[in-house]
Amino acid sequence: MAYLADRAFELIASAQERGRLAHAFLISGAHGSGKENLAARMIQLVNGAGKSGGFDLFGEPVVVATPPLDELESGWVRIIRPRMKSRRIGVDQIRDLEQTLHLAAPGGACKVGVITEADRMNDQAANAFLKTLEEPPRNTLLLLLTANPQRLLPTVISRCTRLPLLGGEALLAVAAGAVVAALVRTRPTGEGARSRGAITHGGDDESLHHLVGRHRPERVDEQRHRQTLIWEIREGAGKARDRAVMEDGPMARD
């Protein structure tokens, strides 16, 4: 079951309150789904920084802001990202992380290891990390973030609590695909084939106008609605195509 990031955090906070928080989470989701923000909120939660900031002069609760993930890195919070020329996470990075996790943090602070784009670990790094997943040091939280969980070793996945997130770029692509499918079903075969081609390849405006309605709208608001739908379909298809092309290349952060 997938969750919106806010709902996922509510479940995590509840588990933390009950002393039932797992030691390792696999947070997966499309780019823009909020993986890094959720990880940052979890870091604040386990170390007490995410609690309420009290109340302002008007009696309203003060919301504690969540900084970007990299700003939370410290001696006891380590953020691992792909840094090799091949955009892979090497075994040396994992061993350095493990060394930190096995040290004693002052004041009983929770040690946190975050691996972003975890599917970029090479086999040697993934196998080295398995031992930490199997025998985590005391008072440690491990967070693996990825948009491609299927690329992780099954043994890594099985040792984490899975937390798939909704939203992000994939949601737009799926929504565009659903619109296309619904519209194509209402067209004859020849027109449906033409419509699918327009979406798959981005299409020209004539093909997309053909998809969403061949007749000129009688009202301006209808015309604007149709043009907006065309833009959304083109954007969703373009992002889906670009993601497929760049799947093995550098990835943008959340």
pLDDT tens for 94-115 read: 999 999 999 988 888 899 999 9
Residue ranges of domains in the chain: 5-166, 170-245
- What is the percent of the chain with per-residue pLDDT over 70, rounded to a whole number? 61
Residue range 163-190: average pLDDT? 63
Rounded CA separation 158/245 (Å)? 29
Confidence of residue 229 (pLDDT cuts 50, 70, 90): low
- Between 238 and 22, residue with greater pLDDT: 22
pLDDT of 85 reads 78
pLDDT of 244 reads 46
Which CATH superfamily does the domain covering 5-166 fall into? P-loop containing nucleotide triphosphate hydrolases (3.40.50.300)
